[in-house]
């Protein structure tokens, strides 16, 4: 893990990517932080990717609305 802090000013944010109808802004990549990535995602109800999995952990902070998750078949 890289030592120190990571600061991204609002004017430094890249343009969002369109991922299956959800706008995804990459705020920090694992190459920048050393261990994890941070994204900001915004989409309309029903938008977003179909069920899928990754080889890495993810954490979510839901500001409004709902997100459905499946883990190990549950």
pTM value? 0.72
Alpha carbons 68 and 13: distance in angstroms, whole number: 27
pLDDT at 55 over 60: yes
Q: Which one, of 46, 36, 52, lies nearest residue 67 by Cα?
A: 46
Contact call for residues 14 and 29 (beta carbons, < 8 A): no
**pLDDT for position 15:** 96
pLDDT at 1 over 60: no
For the segment 7-38, what is each residue's pLDDT rounded down to a tens digit? 889 899 999 999 888 999 999 888 887 778 88
């Amino acid at each position: 893990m890289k030592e120190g802090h990571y600061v991204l000013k609002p004017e430094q944010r890249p343009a969002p990517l369109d991922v299956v109808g959800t706008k995804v802004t990459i705020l920090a990549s694992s190459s920048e932080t050393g261990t994890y990535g941070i994204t900001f995602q915004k989409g309309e109800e029903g938008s977003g990717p179909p069920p899928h999995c990754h080889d890495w952990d993810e954490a979510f902070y839901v500001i409004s609305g709902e997100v459905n998750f499946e883990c190990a078949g549950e």
